[in-house]
Structure 1
Amino acid sequence: MASRSAIVIGAGIVGLATARALAVQGFSVKVFERTDRAVGASIRNFGMIWPIGQTAGKMYDRAVRSRNIWKEIAPRAGFWHEGAGSLHLAYHADEWTVLQELDETFRGEGRPIRLMDKAAIAASSPAVKTEGLIGGLHSGDEVIVDPREAIATLPGWLAEQYKVEFFWGKCVSYISDQIVYIGNDKEYEADLVFICSGADFETLYPEQFAEQPVTKCKLQMMRLVSQPDEWRIGPALCGGLSLIHYNSFKAAPSLAVLRERYAAEMADYLQWGIHVMVSQNGRGELTVGDSHEYGLTHDPFDKDFINRMILDYLRKFACFQDWSVAETWNGVYAKLTDGEADLFFSPEPYVYVINGVGGAGMTLSFGLAEELVAGL
């Protein structure tokens, strides 16, 4: 009996996760990517697999499942990963109150969480600025990969492990009756077609995308040079502003009070959606960000003042061996406007769109793809 066939359009993390989920279910899979390699949002992020940011229940479970898949694949595929965990830092009493509330809530949910005092934090990370530090909340859930390395390596592993076929530099211009068209003269047919096109709403089914509650988010990030003498920061580090960014932190009753202070004292940071985090890759480089601007069309230019704001805030809680900036960039990802965490719809029979994971693609995609494919 011939296996069922599937075509996946897009080789970012959502497309790769979908290809894997299909292959695990026994599908023969072809992946079409319009560029010669993935260069979109999937390589322009921290590389954080970040369960702590996900709300209890379905979303947290999805993040943990994704994290476990990353941990399973990384050593087999040969790319670096680290179970670094995360550390949220408090330098103000209201931040510390929120962290204490989250500690109680998250421990009740069974998460690997613990409060740390200044001495414990200093022992766990040489990168934390201890002056004025009250304490922090440590989570053991989080894993770091280098997104550029991981996304570049996964296709080869999927091809070797599951015989997934990749077609690079091939833009699918049209789909009809489960047939995808490459330009005017090349056609491929499959039982199921999955569109994982990220922030491209314009090429395939633009009318249907226009009916969805989805927009685009532009973020600015930067990478600092490899730190000397193999110096490591330990866990991924987050300042107080991150507490008002993630949905899971809304569980803290005092969060609204903290947000009010930020709105009064740091309105410019909230205006540009800035919260500040740092992760470290296997080469010792530090990935720093980020900002959030929303709209369907963004200018391609980085705003230098945003990068300076990010670094200024980072210096309030971090101290590095070398602050030299090696690279700056921006990325654009699809973001749902209705508060949901994924977009899944069928514009025509046997054709499915998977999108809308927002800034949590690395965290959620493997788990989400498994859920959706299993439900078909």
Structure 2
Amino acid sequence: MRMIIVGGGVLGTMHAWQAVRRGHEVVHLEREAEARGASVRNFGLVWVSGRAAGPELSTALRARELWERIGAEVPGVGFRGNGSLTVCRTPQEVAVAQAAAAAPDAAARGFTLLGRDEARALNPALRGEFEAALWCERDGAVESRVALPALRAALAATGAYQWLPGREVRALTDSGVRDDHGTVHTGDQVVLTTGAALSGLVRELVPDLPVRRVWLQMAQTAPLGEPLTTSVADADSFRYYPAFRGPELNALTVAQPQPPVAAEHAMQLLMVQRLDGGLTIGDTHAYAEPFPFDQVEEPYEHLIEVASALLGRPLPAIRRRWHGVYAQCLDPAAVAHRQQVTGNAVLVTGPGGRGMTCSPAIAEQTAEELSW
């Protein structure tokens, strides 16, 4: 078949990857000169550890397998299976980690509860004071700023892929799509992966789309000067990932409220080292639109304080700050929202903060459901 993929983010690119791998031709349209949304404004984490039991965890585990395969085939995506440590500094936090490490699916996630010395042996950069850490062997990372160009180059080398940036799709036609240059692109199947761009054509096609947008702030530092051998989270991440729900987490939230800034901005610390040695740190969450056009400084101050405490040294200077918006499906049982909008067009959106993690498997599921 001839496939038309609309949206150049990681979800669209993975649908193109699946289509080409299954023997189809792909025309890939993107409204910007380069993807600039959540796909490049994230940690690059392939985050298995916190996923909800059931379809979400299964999707994340399958995506982790696919990322490893893709990384071996396309080294430019920067995949590494570095795992993660969620660092616990209080007995209440340790209790949540203990419960997770004892859960029936702990082995599938690669969970092991480590003492402080064991965690430091795994990641010597963690010189701060803490009691224990939850090790997740299955977590990984990619380089989000360079992964998409690397994947497109590999697809283009097959001769079955055409990348057309600077083309905003305005309408679906009987045979494909029409862009804002007036060009009609014909094909057998259209896949709309427009990310957080939920107005315009998407709103016309699905006025009551069960997807919301989420706004966040992140930053990147100067090089750390030493390896951060694993990705790192603080125990506030327990509050935001469904895998950790239970009586231990309930007790933590009562006995140990978040600091006011962290609570106001729905914060956790996630920290991953880039290939250049810098650290990506974040993040905040805001759910009520309209979102601010400016960034506030207090969340960054909180992130710097927590990260410095875990490292036992001052965090390197922040060199880049940014905000981003992603689309999140409102159905808690769905990993993404997939909907047929016309006879030959399907909309796939709303993976939320799971986009980078789960996109290879989401695209595979689309291909299998549509019998590509």
What TM-score does the superposition give when structure 2 sets the normalisation length? 0.94
Over 3 Å counting, the alpha-carbon distance change for 1:189 and 1:329 in structure 2 is same
Over 3 Å counting, the alpha-carbon distance change for 1:364 and 1:216 in structure 2 is same
AA aligned to 1:371 is Q
Work out the CA distance in 2 between the residues paired with 1:148 and 1:129: 29
**Structure 1: which 5+ runs fail to align?**
none
Question: 350, 356, 366: which one pairs with 1:356?
Answer: 350
2:234 is equivalent to residue 236 of structure 1: no
Work out the CA distance in 2 between the residues paired with 1:352 and 1:110: 32
**Identical aligned residues as a percent:** 25
Over 3 Å counting, the alpha-carbon distance change for 1:157 and 1:106 in structure 2 is farther
Work out the CA distance in 1 between the residues paired with 2:254 and 2:324: 29
Residue aligning to 2:32: 35
Contact 1:275–1:289 (CA<8 Å) still a contact in 2? yes
Q: Could you tell me how far 1:205 is from its partner in structure 2?
A: 2.9
**Structure 1, 208-217 or 143-152: larger mean CA deviation:** 208-217
Residue aligning to 1:274: 267
Q: How many residues align?
A: 368
2:237 is equivalent to residue 246 of structure 1: no
2:310 is equivalent to residue 341 of structure 1: no
Residue aligning to 1:299: 292
Residue aligning to 2:148: 151
Post-superposition Cα deviations, 1:143-178, rounded to whole Å, max 9, x if no partner, equal: 111100112211111121462111111111111224
Work out the CA distance in 2 between the residues paired with 1:54 and 1:181: 38
**Structure 2: which 5+ runs fail to align?**
none
Over 3 Å counting, the alpha-carbon distance change for 1:246 and 1:86 in structure 2 is same
Contact 2:176–2:188 (CA<8 Å) still a contact in 1? no
Residue aligning to 1:140: 137
Contact 1:216–1:297 (CA<8 Å) still a contact in 2? no
AA aligned to 1:351 is A
Over 3 Å counting, the alpha-carbon distance change for 1:225 and 1:184 in structure 2 is closer
Residue aligning to 1:199: 196
Post-superposition Cα deviations, 1:262-308, rounded to whole Å, max 9, x if no partner, equal: 44x52431221110010012111100000001134323211112211
AA aligned to 1:242 is S
Contact 2:4–2:27 (CA<8 Å) still a contact in 1? yes
Over 3 Å counting, the alpha-carbon distance change for 1:184 and 1:334 in structure 2 is same
AA aligned to 1:337 is L
Post-superposition Cα deviations, 1:286-332, rounded to whole Å, max 9, x if no partner, equal: 00000001134323211112211222222332335751111000111
AA aligned to 1:63 is A
Q: Could you tell me how far 1:6 is from its partner in structure 2?
A: 1.1
Over 3 Å counting, the alpha-carbon distance change for 1:205 and 1:237 in structure 2 is closer
Task: Give the match's secondary structure for 1:52.
Answer: coil
Contact 2:304–2:315 (CA<8 Å) still a contact in 1? no
Residue aligning to 2:363: 369
Residue aligning to 1:94: 92
Contact 2:39–2:355 (CA<8 Å) still a contact in 1? yes
Contact 2:307–2:315 (CA<8 Å) still a contact in 1? no
Work out the CA distance in 1 between the residues paired with 2:320 and 2:275: 17
Contact 1:118–1:130 (CA<8 Å) still a contact in 2? no
AA aligned to 1:355 is T
Residue aligning to 1:10: 7
Over 3 Å counting, the alpha-carbon distance change for 1:134 and 1:202 in structure 2 is same
Contact 1:86–1:140 (CA<8 Å) still a contact in 2? yes
Residues 42-121 of structure 1 mapped to structure 2, 5 A cutoff:
42-79=39-76, 80-105=78-103, 109-121=107-119
Q: Could you tell me how far 1:213 is from its partner in structure 2?
A: 2.0
Question: 163, 168, 179: which one pairs with 1:166?
Answer: 163
What TM-score does the superposition give when structure 1 sets the normalisation length? 0.93
AA aligned to 1:211 is D
Task: Give the match's secondary structure for 1:44.
Answer: coil
